[in-house]
Structure 1
Amino acid sequence: MNSRKLLSETRRTFPATKVRCQQPSRILIVDVTSPSWTNTCSVLSEALENTLCLACSLTGPCRIPLLSLYLVQNHQECLLPFTQVKENFARIQACMSELRSLPREGCFPQGGSGVVQAVQDGLQQFKQYSRHTTAGGSTNNSVEITILTGQSSKEMVKQLEIKLKDVDLVSLRRIEVIEVLKRDFLEPEEVEQCMPAEEPSISDIAILGMDIDVQTIEDNVISLEMLFKTWLHDYGTEREHLHLLLPSGGFSDASAPRATLMCLKCDLQERLLDPTLLSGAVDGSVRATDVTSPCQMAAWPATALYKLRVIKALKSEGVCESVLYGLPFIIKPTSCWQLDWDELEINQHSFHALCHSLLKRKWMLLARREPQNTSPSWNIVVHSHYVIVPSDSATLLVKAVAIRELLMPSTFPALLAEHAERVSGPIEGALNSLEVEVAYNPLHLKSNLYKYLKSVLYKPLHRQQAQPRDQRPERHQPKHQSKAKATVAPLLMASSPVQAHRLAAAGTDPKEYEGLLQ
């Protein structure tokens, strides 16, 4: 994937008013007029279904609160009105089946303003849905729009700029325009770096202070899956997640007070999804990460401000992997929108300087987690410790490290210098027969996790549909609904004979929902 968003504009994605930030709702607009839609359709459906089965299976707060899916053919069509993702996988699966059943390439003319109309309709649908659900206690007030298209992203941005000038964008957090590139010479599972797209200017990507993030992506399952998985990240930017405390580094150390600390304000990001957060995990464990545990940190949701105080530097070659445990987290400069712009910029430069210096010295940092609140003196505080590892990117890796109380006794016998040929020969032969890879790539390994989660998500549906034999439908009748039922009536601008047919086929009366929303 090749993102063309300017780093200097990162702050524009944050709300202009001080409201409670949280996971945004999602509108996915799929432009099916691309000449390569035949291939894109299958890989898009698989990638989206894989990501949504993860979102439905993760315990804790919902990472994708609401999802709406639009198709743009010769007109725009709302295939999936705003739907709560959790506990609605059967409905999402029905939507994916409809997506796969669409006519393939050559059936729809390219061009037109269908995408822009879908954006306008989606924003109105979200505004209408939000107004309808406010009484029920819903506080979600932002939405992000992702547009998948085979058209030129530059031309798409120009259309959006022109047509959205007079549209209410208060609830819109960001628009992503994803240009899907067809590569005939790639293997289905192969991921290659995209050809760089033209760098958009600031005028190309700014609409009334909101961002249009322009990206190019290959039309394969892995690339699209990674695009959709960004929806699972924590989007809370109301405050920073982590304070990294370093000793004062002034030029005159003698004059600097000993207690003075340098504070780098950072955010945490998951490197891996915690398998224990998956409902129906393979090992049978179902639990949420215990944020209050002294040995645990959680990158999602960011419910607490962590403080890590650096106490020592470590030579990189002197850290044994056997004393590191738990899931790793990524540390990066904060994107907190409440900080002053100058402070954000200085903080980012200081963070990059730290990464560069650690790499140059081949150092790691040993840090102690400071208590979150000042506690009475008679309470005992248990300090957890972490190792902070630099990388070639502008990020740090943090992982828990063993302490004296947790360390188990072990002895390591010395490795023999020589072995008899009758022993070493077969071992050498076995090793020589192995395929050698330069680096480990987790994208090359599959565990059937998606298939397993989908089977688990379908179990409650099958139990509910169990009926006596004499009440079961005839064999020629479908067992499951193939259409998604609408929870919000399509707006007048979005209604069409095709949509009316869909609602009728799904057993949904549009007038019923129009009455609810009035």
Structure 2
Amino acid sequence: MIMSRYKPVTRAAFSRQPAHYLLFDVGHPMTLTQIRSTATAVQNVLILACSIRGGSRIPAFGLAMINRNFENVCSLEAIRGNFSKIVAAFNSLSNQAKMSEKIPFQEFKDYVYLAVNSLLEDFKSKSETMSGNKKWLFPPQLQITMVTAKNGSYVQQCLEEAVKTLNIAKLRKIQVVQLQNLLGNLATASNKEEPLQKINTDFLRGVEFVVLIQVAGTEEELESLFKTWLLDCDIDHEHLRISFPTSLNLPGSISSSLKCDIGECLINPFSLPFGHRYQLQMDFCSIQLGGSGLTKSAGMLLS
């Protein structure tokens, strides 16, 4: 009798969600309208993250800004139970926009380096202060999203240069979100003020470590972008393998295979409060009253 040694492989859903730091460049040419649209979009996504049952999609959130200097407006906090503190931090950010200034490019580069280093240190400090029993609850990695109205390529190069001398072992990715101005054109900067320098960052570009995203500054588009934070970030799992046979006509040819990961594109309605209302009910008597009935542990293991 041949015993099968196959064991189903399972993993905990949303077990590797990163902490998110939003780094806001509120300096020139950022406008108050762009700041408010971005703040509203982020807060809407955070509210949704607080409402979804099961594993935490956004386990921790922090807010920082660059204007005439660097300021950590809100240190990393769990969003559940601290939402009022996060809202107050965004209100403070909007007030800073009234004092938006245009600073020299070298000074801006220094602030970018200071910002990334400070955010990494804050993440490290929070991780080390967690007690032994709760340490596993802290996010294993950090993602920084920088929102700016400056030339996105220039900001991307500044960030690539900054991380070359920093310990980025716990840094998952840096996103540069360049907003469009009110005229619908991507905000650009004068070459005299922000020269694009040639930096040897091929090792970063190869893995898309610092990613540039150019979007309109509307609340709808920004909300769609930030909703990607809610997706499962554990993509190191093989869902499907397609094997191709060797070619009979080509001697010495070898077989090849295609490994696929299935990415989540929709949120399960049953993970939302009163999610049963999104279900088609054939029988009136089968309609549940109250919550969706989904337990905390249900749907937490993926195969």
TM-score range, shorter chain: 0.7 to 0.9
Report the alpha carbon displacement of residue 163 of structure 1 after superposing the two structures with TM. 3.2
Which residue of structure 1 aligns with residue 119 of structure 2?
Answer: 122
Which residue of structure 1 aligns with residue 229 of structure 2?
Answer: 231
Which residue of structure 2 aligns with residue 271 of structure 1?
Answer: 265
Rounded Cα–Cα distance in structure 2 between residues aligned with 1:205 and 1:44: 31
Report the alpha carbon displacement of residue 290 of structure 1 after superposing the two structures with TM. 10
Which residue of structure 1 aligns with residue 218 of structure 2?
Answer: 220
Q: Does 2:74 correspond to 1:76?
A: no
Q: Match of 2:215, SS? A: strand
Rounded Cα–Cα distance in structure 1 between residues aligned with 2:15 and 2:56: 14
Q: Does 2:79 correspond to 1:96?
A: no
How do residues 126-275 of structure 1 correspond to structure 2 at under 5 angstroms? Answer: 126-139=123-136, 140-184=139-183, 203=201, 206=204, 211-240=209-238, 242-243=239-240, 264-275=258-269
CA 227–271 in structure 1, closer or farther in 2 if over 3 Å, else same: same
Which residue of structure 2 aligns with residue 45 of structure 1?
Answer: 39
CA 118–265 in structure 1, closer or farther in 2 if over 3 Å, else same: same
Which has the higher relative contact order, 1 or 2, with Cα contacts under 8 A spaced 6 or more apart?
2
CA 37–50 in structure 1, closer or farther in 2 if over 3 Å, else same: same
Which residue of structure 1 aligns with residue 292 of structure 2?
Answer: 286
Deviations 1:197-229 (A, max 9, x none): x9x998267189771111211111112111211
Which residue of structure 2 aligns with residue 367 of structure 1?
Answer: none
Report the alpha carbon displacement of residue 160 of structure 1 after superposing the two structures with TM. 2.5
State whether residues 205 and 213 of structure 1, in contact with CA within 8 Å, keep that contact through their aligned partners in structure 2. no
Rounded Cα–Cα distance in structure 2 between residues aligned with 1:251 and 1:163: 48
How do residues 334-373 of structure 1 correspond to structure 2 at under 5 angstroms? Answer: none
Report the alpha carbon displacement of residue 95 of structure 1 after superposing the two structures with TM. 2.3
Rounded Cα–Cα distance in structure 2 between residues aligned with 1:103 and 1:175: 23
Report the alpha carbon displacement of residue 124 of structure 1 after superposing the two structures with TM. 0.5
Aligned residues: 256
The letter for the 1-side match of 2:240 is: H
Rounded Cα–Cα distance in structure 1 between residues aligned with 2:231 and 2:47: 15
Q: Match of 2:96, SS? A: coil
The letter for the 2-side match of 1:43 is: S
Identity in percent: 24
Report the alpha carbon displacement of residue 57 of structure 1 after superposing the two structures with TM. 0.4
State whether residues 59 and 287 of structure 1, in contact with CA within 8 Å, keep that contact through their aligned partners in structure 2. no
CA 177–205 in structure 1, closer or farther in 2 if over 3 Å, else same: farther
Deviations 1:34-54 (A, max 9, x none): 324222111111101110000
Structure with bigger gyration radius = 1
Report the alpha carbon displacement of residue 278 of structure 1 after superposing the two structures with TM. 1.6
Rounded Cα–Cα distance in structure 2 between residues aligned with 1:282 and 1:218: 35
Q: Match of 1:268, SS? A: coil
State whether residues 56 and 87 of structure 1, in contact with CA within 8 Å, keep that contact through their aligned partners in structure 2. no
Rounded Cα–Cα distance in structure 1 between residues aligned with 2:200 and 2:234: 25
State whether residues 23 and 145 of structure 2, in contact with CA within 8 Å, keep that contact through their aligned partners in structure 1. yes
Q: Match of 1:135, SS? A: coil
Segments of structure 1 that go 5 or more residues without pairing to the other structure are 1-19, 187-193, 253-261, 293-297, 306-518
Rounded Cα–Cα distance in structure 1 between residues aligned with 2:240 and 2:266: 22
Rounded Cα–Cα distance in structure 2 between residues aligned with 1:96 and 1:280: 29
Rounded Cα–Cα distance in structure 2 between residues aligned with 1:153 and 1:107: 18
Rounded Cα–Cα distance in structure 2 between residues aligned with 1:227 and 1:34: 23
Rounded Cα–Cα distance in structure 2 between residues aligned with 1:205 and 1:148: 24
Deviations 1:42-71 (A, max 9, x none): 111110111000001000000111111101
TM-score (norm 2): 0.72
State whether residues 28 and 100 of structure 2, in contact with CA within 8 Å, keep that contact through their aligned partners in structure 1. no
The letter for the 1-side match of 2:41 is: A
Rounded Cα–Cα distance in structure 1 between residues aligned with 2:45 and 2:230: 9
The letter for the 2-side match of 1:304 is: L
TM-score (norm 1): 0.44
The letter for the 2-side match of 1:122 is: L
Rounded Cα–Cα distance in structure 1 between residues aligned with 2:143 and 2:218: 23
